[in-house]
Amino acid sequence: MTGTLETSYPSPEASTGLMLWRVTNSWQREIRAILAPFDLTHVQFVLLAVLTAMDYETPLTQRDLAEHAVTDPMMTSQVLRTLEKKGFVERHPHPTDRRARTLTVTPAGATLANRANAAVEEADRAYFSTLGAKGQHFTDCLVTLSVAADTSGKNGSSDQRTGSA
């Protein structure tokens, strides 16, 4: 028996969500392939890049990083343990909060983050080059959606955050 999906779309290509899903999966495959030679998963790269990019005059906690990267705090903690084992991140006791850990990028971590970021940015340019002159408009639309999600709390954060990762 063949089922019948009730939908308001005349074709799958008319569904913005489905198209976003397909493009996201395709783009993530590209990024995974680019990061493989660096021995980094996508989330390891994002956290390492965001941590490297952050200007922190006060002690930066794992929670701060999770909020800035818009990642789950528990997953962030697990990934940071892996990055620490690899020698890319150091975690230290917080000077005033016994429960918190502060973060710093090691010189090796900063070097790796910058090398991997250059490769990811080049992959992004190549992947999105198909859009041609529409590329900036597409990025602007994504920023609009991201800000709306941040404002409504759909990204797990009520703050509006920007950053390159």
- For residue 162, is it left (φ>0), alpha (ψ between -120 and 50) or beta? beta
Question: Helix (H, G, I), strand (E, B), or coil: what is residue 55?
Answer: coil
C-alpha distances (whole Å) from 82 to each of 100, 109, 151 are 18, 12, 31
pLDDT tens by residue, 72-110: 999 999 999 999 999 999 999 888 888 888 999 999 999
Q: What is the CA radius of gyration of the chain?
A: 19
What pLDDT is attached to residue 55?
Answer: 72
Angle, helices 42-53 vs 107-128, to 10°: value is: 110
**pLDDT over 90, % of the chain:** 71
What are the helix (H) ranges across the chain?
16-35, 42-53, 62-69, 73-85, 107-128, 135-152
pTM higher than the cut 0.95? no
pLDDT tens by residue, 7-38: 899 888 999 999 999 999 999 999 999 999 99
